[in-house]
């Protein structure tokens, strides 16, 4: 069996978190599909793959094959991160949210393209929360298409990402390839952690402990509402903050980092007598991985996104670092558009870990 390289297509590519990780793993990402114009602009600024800016419903497998020009010595990896807001435990989506149906477009394109390998990332709620019924149906459809699947909830912190971000990761191989794996006594696996919880009692592989949020906060000082851009620092932009919120952030920082310490005069009416999302108005703890980045990650009022020492929410560049993007990765759009791209992205190092697994698997399968 001759050596074969992996070529990838990234569906629902967003700004390019997954593609960036796969490229770091040595995979040739040749095409992507994304409907959002601003995310596409960011993607094409940083990644050379051909991007189809279109609703995926209108994209066919034959069109994608025409773009990537797959050769006989190449194997296809089809990747997808379908919109997950309907499955998320944070949002108000339901099982009937129309965005949830987009995962079936991934299934359709797997059927049309018959890739050797498949990779999907989504929120944990897809497999054991609001989306459980849909996910079971998707697994059934993959089985009918003759794909072997392994999936689980992984924590991005276990892969060198300075963030607590639990996500569903799915690896799949076409069954004829899986039969070759069985013949070589190989199992279909998920990526192995590169980092470990510092509170773990055992660490037989002597892995380094989780990266903490403190590793990202060494950029030039920034005031709320200020933008810092230089030849070496990109997208270091902070949203503005009202005077009363500056007073709140100072008080919270001095008194433990959470809003439940606020004196009565600083408590918002909407928070009185309610628990709600307790992280809102919180300060990021530099001694732990950061909380999950969301589309509101640059807004102090939308989560535990307060800067640890400066009177502002984290900047776009700090949020991007928490998602393990390189500093050279440049985002396009307004502050709100950039925050949404960052919050929706797959952490680069998590995608890289999956990419490295498929590279390893492909090499093993091609050994004589």
Q: Which residue ranges make up each domain of the chain?
A: 5-200+346-365, 214-344
Mean pLDDT (whole number) for 229-235: 93
Domain covering 214-344, topology: DNA Methylase; Chain A, domain 2 (3.90.120)
Residue 1: per-residue pLDDT: 45
Average pLDDT, the chain: 93
pLDDT at site 277: 60
What is d(CA 176, CA 171) in angstroms, rounded to the nearest whole number?
A: 15
Q: What is the pLDDT of residues 289-309, one digit of tens each?
A: 999 999 999 999 999 999 999
Entry field: residues in the chain: 368
- What is residue 133's three-state secondary structure? helix
Q: Which residues pair with 313 in a beta bridge?
A: 306
Class of domain 5-200+346-365: alpha beta
Cβ neighbours around 333 below 10 Å, total:
19
| Distance between CA atoms of residues 91 and 319, nearest Å | 20
Closest CA to 101 of 162, 56, 47: 56
Whether 130 has a pLDDT exceeding 80, the answer reads: no
Contact 324, 161 (CB under 8 A): yes
pLDDT bin (cut points 50, 70, 90) of residue 276 is low
**Alpha-helical regions (H) of 114-254:** 125-128, 132-144, 175-183, 243-254
C-alpha span between 64 and 368 (Å, rounded): 31
Confidence of residue 330 (pLDDT cuts 50, 70, 90): very high
Q: Which pLDDT score, from 0 to 100, does residue 85 have? A: 55
Let me know if the fold of 5-200+346-365 is the same as that of 214-344. no
* Residue 306 DSSP one-character state: B
What pTM did the predictor assign? 0.93
**pLDDT bucket at 223, cuts 50 / 70 / 90:** very high
Q: What is the pLDDT of residues 56-111, one digit of tens each?
A: 999 999 999 999 999 999 999 999 999 865 554 444 545 554 456 899 999 999 99
Q: What is the pLDDT of residue 64?
A: 97
Which residue is listed with tokens 């059934």? 140
Report the pLDDT averaged over residues 19-33. 98
Q: Which residues are catalytic?
A: 84
Q: Mind listing the pLDDT tens digit for each residue in 234-268?
A: 999 999 999 999 999 999 999 988 888 888 898 88
| Closest CA relative to residue 303, chosen from 157, 130, 90 | 90
What pLDDT band is residue 132 in, cutting at 50, 70 and 90? confident
> Where does residue 155 fall: left (phi above 0), alpha (psi -120 to 50 degrees), or beta otherwise?
beta
Instruction: Give rounded-to-5 percent helix, strand, coil for the chain.
Output: 40, 15, 45
Look at residue 2 in the predicted model and tell me its pLDDT: 55
For residue 278, what pLDDT is reported? 67
Per-residue pLDDT, averaged over 344-366, amounts to: 97
Q: What is the pLDDT of residue 353?
A: 98
Q: What is the pLDDT of residue 309?
A: 97
Q: What average pLDDT does the segment 304-331 reach? A: 98
Residue 231 reports pLDDT greater than 60: yes
Residue 13 CA to chain centroid, in angstroms?
10
pLDDT at 128 over 80: no
CA distance 268 to 272: 7
With a pLDDT cut of 90, the percent of the chain lying above it is: 83
Listed range (117-131, 184-198, 334-348) with the worst mean pLDDT: 117-131
- Going by C-alpha positions, the residue among 319, 309, 361, 366 that lies closest to residue 340 is 319
Tell me the sheet residues that pair with 50: 31
Distances (CA, A) of 226 to 229, 235, 241, 251: 10, 11, 10, 22
Of the given ranges (97-106, 161-170, 207-216, 332-341), which has the lowest mean pLDDT?
Answer: 97-106
Residues 6+ apart with CB under 8 A from 342: 15, 293, 297, 316, 319, 320, 323, 325, 331
């Amino acid at each position: 069996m001759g050596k074969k390289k992996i070529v990838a297509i990234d569906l629902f590519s967003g700004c390019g978190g997954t593609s960036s990780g796969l490229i770091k793993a040595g995979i040739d990402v040749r095409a992507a599909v994304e409907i959002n114009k601003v995310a596409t602009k960011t993607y094409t600024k940083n990644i050379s793959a051909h991007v189809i800016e279109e609703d995926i419903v209108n994209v066919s497998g034959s069109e994608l094959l025409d773009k990537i020009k797959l050769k006989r010595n190449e194997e296809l990896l089809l990747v997808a991160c379908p919109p997950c807001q309907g499955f998320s435990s944070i949002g108000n989506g339901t099982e009937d949210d129309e965005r949830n149906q987009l995962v079936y477009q991934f299934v359709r394109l797997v059927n049309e393209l018959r890739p050797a390998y498949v990779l999907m990332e989504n929120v944990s709620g897809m497999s054991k929360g609001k989306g459980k019924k849909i996910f079971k149906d998707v697994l059934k459809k993959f089985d009918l298409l003759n794909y072997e699947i392994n999936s689980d909830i992984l924590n991005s912190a276990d892969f060198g990402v300075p963030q607590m971000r639990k996500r569903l990761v799915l690896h799949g191989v076409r069954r004829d390839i899986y039969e070759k794996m069985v013949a070589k006594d190989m199992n279909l696996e998920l990526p192995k952690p590169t980092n470990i919880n510092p509170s773990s009692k055992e660490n037989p592989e002597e892995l380094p402990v989780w990266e903490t949020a403190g590793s990202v906060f060494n950029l030039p000082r920034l005031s709320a509402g200020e933008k810092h851009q230089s030849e070496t620092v990109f997208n270091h932009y902070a949203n503005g903050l009202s005077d009363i919120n500056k007073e709140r952030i100072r008080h919270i920082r001095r008194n433990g980092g959470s809003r439940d310490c606020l004196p009565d005069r600083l408590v918002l009416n909407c928070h009185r007598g309610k628990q709600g999302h307790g992280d809102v108005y919180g300060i990021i703890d530099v001694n732990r991985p950061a909380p999950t980045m969301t589309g509101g990650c640059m807004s102090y009022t939308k989560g535990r996104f307060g800067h640890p020492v400066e009177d502002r929410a984290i900047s776009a560049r700090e949020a991007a670092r928490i998602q393990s993007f390189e500093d050279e990765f440049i985002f396009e759009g307004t502050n709100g558009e950039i925050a949404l791209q960052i919050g929706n992205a797959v952490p680069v190092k998590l995608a890289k870990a999956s990419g490295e697994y498929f590279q390893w698997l492909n090499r093993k399968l091609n050994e004589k």
